[in-house]
Amino acid sequence: MHFVILTLLVLLVVFGPQLWARYTFSRYSKPLEHIPGSGGELAKHLLERFKMDGVKVEKTERQGDHYDPSRKVVCLSLSNHDDNSLTAVAVAAHEVGHAIQDHRGEAMLAWRTRLAMMAMRVQKIGAAAMMAMPIVMLISRAPSSGLLMAVIGIGSMLLATLVHLVTLPVEIDASFGKALPLLIEGQYIRPQDEPAVRRILRAAAFTYVAASLASLLNLWRWFRILRP
């Protein structure tokens, strides 16, 4: 019984933020007449306003809303690019917030980007090491060789967890340090829309919480497996 309760709590903690974010985005995704433009149009307008001529706006079908610092592209999902809903303009402003961070050379985004690129390479090595660990131990018959493979694999997971933890303050700044002031001061939203926009921006920032928790859970699982 205790195991079932613990499992349910873990599932709630890991998947709860993601489900909450999806619900929030869906709740405010209805097009509204008083919003004069789509999310894509707002993103282009803000990029022009901040004279970021080298940054483009693209629709994306599969990758979801994000800013790609390597290509200097604000990527928006089809609905957020084309619709004039509160979700569309809030998410567009959030992603432009990342473009502003990049344009200004803010340290946290630069650090997150470097760590993410490193983590992608290291995770491939770590995954290969974890898969090879039983084979290496069988062939070499030396526990130390298996331990080395395990250390490499867990090290890659630790780096991925660090990336998620560094990402959270970057996301919060994009939402509340950049996007919200832009939307309010530029009068892109009505005062009565502000509470809803705050919820959307909070959801946009905390979508990474689920990834962080899932990463920590995976790390804990491997520690349990490898514990003598």
- Tell me if 193 sits within 8 A of 115, measured CB to CB: no
- Tell me if 212 sits within 8 A of 119, measured CB to CB: no
- Model confidence pLDDT, tens digit, residues 27-70: 999 999 999 899 999 999 999 999 999 999 999 987 789 999 99
pLDDT of residue 16: 72
The encoded tokens of residue 179 equal 């996007």
pLDDT of residue 220: 63
The encoded tokens of residue 137 equal 């131990």
pLDDT of residue 20: 85
Q: Look at the chain and report how many structural domains it folds into.
A: 1
Per-residue pLDDT in tens (0 to 9) along the chain, 228 residues:
655 665 666 566 667 777 888 899 999 999 999 998 999 999 999 999 999 999 999 999 877 899 999 999 999 999 999 999 999 999 999 999 999 999 999 998 887 777 666 656 656 665 555 565 666 556 666 555 555 556 666 666 666 667 667 778 888 999 999 999 999 999 999 999 999 999 999 988 877 666 666 666 666 665 565 555
pLDDT of residue 124: 62
List the domain range (segments joined by +) for residue 31. Answer: 2-226
- Put simply, whether the predicted model's pTM sits higher than 0.75 gets the answer yes
**Which of 193, 206, 201, 183 is CA-nearest to residue 42?**
183
3-state secondary structure of 227: coil
**Which of 217, 212, 219 is CA-nearest to residue 154?**
219
Backbone angles phi, psi at 97, to 5 degrees: -55, -40
The encoded tokens of residue 200 equal 């959307």
